[in-house]
Structure 1
């Protein structure tokens, strides 16, 4: 009997010990479209469970040993995750099921071949969040990619492969978002729409994109906000502003939400320019996405955003040095007046996803966008040009001597813009054996109220400048001027416009094999019909059809290569900006710009020693017709609105990326392009976005001796763009270029804790990441210019190009908490 008691005690102790040597795994299982997948068998050894209708699962596993957790479901490939858990550890592993081959990896299964075949660049949200920039965010990273151009660090706008800022599609959760209308300079913008703290994935295509994307000529930026699976919080603060983001999830996993608020103040950057100003900007933004998993078949989400930007600008004094070392000159300006701009946007979108079966999914999207913008300014600049004393021993060294003339420039504006854009859309995806069919229909109604009042008077160092269009001939200072005095620029217009659009697309995709070679095929067709009513006059209904295709092949070679050919006949039906001519009048019958686009690409993945690299090469050609000629004033685009031009673009892009430092992605990019236009058969000249050479570098590193100390470098070099000539000049007479744009931003971050650096400090135990950063913007203090101001001197009979310089070297401190 005593033996039996001893045996029983030992048995209980063994059971208790066995119980204590366990751990727990839980998470949410989604498919490639972020939909919950139920009835997935999750097993580890001889224990198993299944996911519920919300995709949630929980499984007890053995601790202190390597285990393999399998996720199996009919219609999806099996996924295996290898883990070693501590005793009583409660670990969350979220899985995305795809049609990729079986992997041994955690969290997100590799789907890179499909992305490579479609020609999209995948950008990690972590990289976006960490890389420094004067306007940090998605656009900051895009500007390091080949074929993407920007010479304005204060702006989130970018041009792609010879296009302009209006030729880029931007989606968040499959919902199209819009750029501001009245914004004319980068320092007015404040915040990009995208809240980087809410991002899950970012895909970018610089051309040859599929028919499911909209009707633009240049690029697609496709972003997804994440679907939260547990409580998280993030706080960022810097000398430029800050933000807070929180992830919320209900206990039953049916409800989840992300809410984020951001504040931005560009005063630190703007005050490094040549102008002494009283600058009080306020940029505030709130975004939220709410998700509801009604069942395994129905999911709902709401994306909302409210933003308010107030730009209060009062210049006081400015000095710009130019000329040569032997003959230094300076322009000194005394300002009077003020600019007060307000930009308010309200955006809401409701999206519902219905999974009728494993192979049939339907999506319903309704959105509304309301923009209220006002731009009011009266600024008088009185300036003089003089020689600078460059005698080192002089008491007046560096001062402006011998003024050559005094001049003035008065700018007045009272601009108001009110736009309401409402849309409804149905999309569907069908899998039929190895084929995938996607289609969609969308209706958009745009209601716009616009008042434009701008005039400018220029007295250029002793004489008045007459209007560039329609003015009397003015040959001063060579001949006296006897014509009437008139504002150099005078535009007045009040417009009411409505644009109703209906568009649809149908595309087919297939992944198959030819022999031992993998091949991806995609073909699609878009149709777009629109009609413009301008000031109660109805235009004619217009319609365009856009066929598009993609072919990719991965040969069965030892070398990992994919070759792509993509293109199509792309159209861009006009927006309100494109139908408003430079004099403010509306041309309701402006046609869609057209582009026959071909892209030939190669992706080559390889290793040097044990370091993985990928080399991507693209060559492209665009033949454009019905071109709507435009001019660029900083970031404002003004169109001729007449379709009286043709153009072409050709170029090549090269990008090499890899983990030069293990665990961190870096890349080097190079691009060349040439684009010219022919307006009214006058001959071909460079377009405003004729960039020519582009070099970009994004590099991450850390100190092996101090792994907590990390370094980030963001470098961009662009050759000069056309735009160095006077704004009133005929571009066929002046093809001057701006100086090259050179910019380097560096960041140094001490990481107390993140996914690769753990610590035993008690105050950090509740945080996933804590870091303190120091950033240097414009590391080499390059004096980049966005435009030139041209001044003619009546005494010396000379014309001077005064550069309008961007920001100089600036320092910033940034603090980041994530939990």
Structure 2
């Protein structure tokens, strides 16, 4: 009897080990239990070859069996439901649920992870650029990956996606533009198919202006800026529109809470001529009437984007393209705007872009090619207050025309040479108030500004040997400001004010008022420490001849663009960076670290109480100083697989020192260095994308950064029973730290691909735990002092649902 009990106990133990531990040699011997057999073969989805050593996990347990030399496996299991996971290094894991009723065969083809497209926004080309080229601070972004990130209110947002990268930030939620490595928003050169963007956001910063469906890729230059780019001191964002299919009609789009979008690719002459049309249109008025508070029922907030591209390839040596981009915003709100001591009861903002760009690309031979690009761009704004008596009609605009001729020449395997010439004409209308409008508010017409920026550039990437590669370049920029204009003259021994003006000089039409220019050297050096490790050094000088004048933390559309003249000198930036890059596990993982330092001359700040909007003598409201920015960025990225994403930490400082020409009378903060509006010393970003099956993907993003600076009053004075703050230092205090967690879940149905239709639902939660992140600070009198209060824009979770579709 005891012997029989020992035998039964041993068999029970073996049965439990089969179900719980599943070592293959035990499972294979359990046929005597008459259990159903689960068998199958695992192969490579591309080659069809069997995969040896695939681990099969049962019901999420850590132990499992592995496939044999023929890629086969055998498991005896009791009848029932099971979850199986198949995993092997270099292949995308696969999960499935099966119901075992009898002997079952389950064959599976796994995808080679090294051959699949990345799901993170940093593409594989960016990895190769990080390791193989001398470029530093250059990131190539995949629009496919950007669409995976959680989006506020379901809107795929390029600008907000950029803010997840190290060294890229903004002053807060709902703010206009981005700040790159301590630079202001106007220090970023943003192109879409070579046409400039002067305001990159909709609705005062809530969303970016780019229709994501029309975008192919983005390249962000934070350092090592090629010499073909000039005119900005912080960064270049080069956005390329998608080339339409030359073979078949395609349709895609999406329906969301904020906007609806669609894109069509239409072949006209197969393999020669095709057109792409992409649009996005919002209807948000009813939200304010439906769920808005009483004081927002009259609010209107709408926008649209329209992008088109005609692509023509007459032969293998020539291609022609014509791109257009139109953006429009209309925003109406009660009050918000004041001008000339008049507070509007209701204000309407109407602004947008109208861009055209054409490109001819010619292929001479395997060594040389040519690009000729022409651009026309118009950015204009209108601020209107429809009061019957105190009517306000304020308009301004920027007209941009450019031509660039660019050659690529590769004489041998060691040299890659790029050279060319460019010319830009700016025509700025800084302000027209109540022109041909009946109002008690007087007409003000600021004189137009006209200037020309010429550039001559050359780059040579020289591969000295297997370890050392040098990219050296130089750009010469010449700037000319033209009349007609008036140059005011001031006393030499006093700051420029209205009272110190002693006369003026009239510059006739076409005559040169002022010229600036100089060389801009560029250098990048890469030294290979090993097959997958590199050390890089970079230096570049940049000049900026146009800048945005605003004394708001985030500029409104009414902010004034200003070109360099007699008194406002161009900014000059010297930038140095050093970086280390390493990839491992077949380039699936990348670890990088970059440090940088930027010194900028002729940074413009404003005097206390400055009026920048309609002042003709704008030089009396501004003071020139200098800026410096430095930091360290560390980032680890997993680019492919079931789990992909990155984590980055940035330590960065952005400081300014403004003393002016007369420090004893003009200096800010006693002439000491003070934090800029976008100085945030510590930032942490985490992005994680999980795709367990072809039908589901989950994304999480977490952002943390130090609160931005603001000016806190040191005291107050009282006049006529009213309290007024007194400011002794600028940006001497900080808001609370910022942190936020977002989530998105995308459900796709690729089985419809056979019918050329693919649909997906994206569910998004922005700010999951409802963090009340501060956007601005205001003060209220309390007792004998002033008490600060923080204002939040998005203090609660925002839930959205978007339907996306493709017809292929």
Q: Same fold (TM over 0.5)?
A: yes
SS at match of 2:588: strand
Aligned to 1:744: 741
Contact 2:213 2:253 in 1 (8 A): no
In the alignment, does 2:136 pair up with 1:128? Answer: no
Aligned to 1:208: 224
SS at match of 1:447: strand
Aligned to 1:657: 637
Aligned to 1:799: 786
Relative distance call for 1:432 and 1:657 in structure 2 (3 A) is: same
Deviation at 1:364, TM superposition (A): 1.4
Alignment partner for residue 525 of structure 1, among 475, 487, 500?
Answer: 475
Q: Distance in 2 between matches of 1:64 and 1:586?
A: 57
Relative distance call for 1:347 and 1:582 in structure 2 (3 A) is: closer
Q: Distance in 2 between matches of 1:585 and 1:177?
A: 16
Relative distance call for 1:302 and 1:193 in structure 2 (3 A) is: farther
Listed as ranges, the matches of 1:278-427 within 5 Å are: 278=297, 279-314=299-334, 337-377=345-385, 414-427=393-406
Q: Distance in 2 between matches of 1:284 and 1:64?
A: 43
What runs of 5+ residues in structure 2 fail to find an aligned partner?
Answer: 1-44, 50-113, 337-342, 435-440, 487-505, 508-512, 664-670, 714-723
Aligned to 1:548: 522
Aligned to 1:612: 588
Contact 1:361 1:429 in 2 (8 A): yes
In the alignment, does 2:147 pair up with 1:161? Answer: no
The superposition leaves residues 355-378 of structure 1 with CA deviations (integer Å, 9 ceiling, x where unpaired) of 222222222111111223112359
Deviation at 1:453, TM superposition (A): 6.4
Aligned to 1:113: 128
Relative distance call for 1:646 and 1:592 in structure 2 (3 A) is: same
Aligned to 2:26: none
Contact 1:121 1:204 in 2 (8 A): yes
Contact 2:706 2:737 in 1 (8 A): yes
Q: Distance in 2 between matches of 1:802 and 1:111?
A: 43
Alignment partner for residue 810 of structure 1, among 793, 798, 801?
Answer: 798
Aligned to 2:449: 498
Once structures 1 and 2 are overlaid, which stretch shifts more, 431-440 or 186-195?
186-195
Aligned to 1:85: none
In the alignment, does 2:386 pair up with 1:438? Answer: no
Deviation at 1:238, TM superposition (A): 0.7
The superposition leaves residues 676-731 of structure 1 with CA deviations (integer Å, 9 ceiling, x where unpaired) of 221115121112221111111221114x4x66232112222221111253698646
Contact 1:654 1:670 in 2 (8 A): yes
Contact 1:591 1:643 in 2 (8 A): no
Contact 2:250 2:266 in 1 (8 A): yes
Deviation at 1:675, TM superposition (A): 2.2
Deviation at 1:336, TM superposition (A): 9.2
Aligned to 2:84: none
Deviation at 1:510, TM superposition (A): 2.7
Deviation at 1:418, TM superposition (A): 2.6
TM-score by length of 1: 0.68
Q: Distance in 1 between matches of 2:596 and 2:179?
A: 16
SS at match of 2:708: coil
SS at match of 2:709: coil
Listed as ranges, the matches of 1:36-185 within 5 Å are: 112-114=127-129, 116=131, 117=133, 118-119=135-136, 120-134=138-152, 136-155=156-175, 157-173=177-193, 175-180=194-199
SS at match of 1:188: helix
In the alignment, does 2:778 pair up with 1:789? Answer: yes
Aligned to 2:577: 599
Deviation at 1:528, TM superposition (A): 3.1
Deviation at 1:652, TM superposition (A): 0.5
Contact 1:273 1:807 in 2 (8 A): no
The superposition leaves residues 314-366 of structure 1 with CA deviations (integer Å, 9 ceiling, x where unpaired) of 379xxxxxxxxxxxxxxxxxx99322111132111111112222222222111
Deviation at 1:304, TM superposition (A): 0.6
Q: Distance in 2 between matches of 1:669 and 1:66?
A: 38
Q: Distance in 1 between matches of 2:273 and 2:178?
A: 36
Q: Distance in 1 between matches of 2:375 and 2:221?
A: 24
Aligned to 1:263: 281
Q: Distance in 1 between matches of 2:613 and 2:533?
A: 40
Alignment partner for residue 252 of structure 1, among 259, 270, 276?
Answer: 270
* Alignment RMSD (CA, Å): 3.9
Relative distance call for 1:523 and 1:736 in structure 2 (3 A) is: same
Relative distance call for 1:273 and 1:689 in structure 2 (3 A) is: farther
The superposition leaves residues 182-205 of structure 1 with CA deviations (integer Å, 9 ceiling, x where unpaired) of x9xx73356534322122222212
Deviation at 1:236, TM superposition (A): 0.7
Alignment partner for residue 700 of structure 1, among 659, 671, 689?
Answer: 689
SS at match of 2:473: strand
Relative distance call for 1:274 and 1:733 in structure 2 (3 A) is: farther
SS at match of 1:628: strand
Q: Distance in 1 between matches of 2:314 and 2:369?
A: 15
Alignment partner for residue 226 of structure 1, among 223, 231, 242?
Answer: 242
Once structures 1 and 2 are overlaid, which stretch shifts more, 616-625 or 126-135?
126-135
Q: Distance in 1 between matches of 2:521 and 2:184?
A: 22
What runs of 5+ residues in structure 1 fail to find an aligned partner?
Answer: 1-62, 68-102, 317-334, 380-410, 455-489, 754-758
The superposition leaves residues 105-162 of structure 1 with CA deviations (integer Å, 9 ceiling, x where unpaired) of 9999968434542231122111112212225322121101111111433346110111
Q: Distance in 2 between matches of 1:529 and 1:281?
A: 39
Q: Distance in 1 between matches of 2:359 and 2:560?
A: 40
Aligned to 1:243: 261
Deviation at 1:311, TM superposition (A): 0.6
Aligned to 2:539: 567
Q: Distance in 2 between matches of 1:240 and 1:265?
A: 7
SS at match of 1:700: strand
Q: How many residues align?
A: 614
Relative distance call for 1:270 and 1:730 in structure 2 (3 A) is: farther
Q: Distance in 2 between matches of 1:336 and 1:496?
A: 25
Q: Distance in 1 between matches of 2:292 and 2:790?
A: 11
Q: Distance in 2 between matches of 1:123 and 1:632?
A: 41
Contact 2:421 2:457 in 1 (8 A): no
Q: Distance in 1 between matches of 2:287 and 2:768?
A: 13
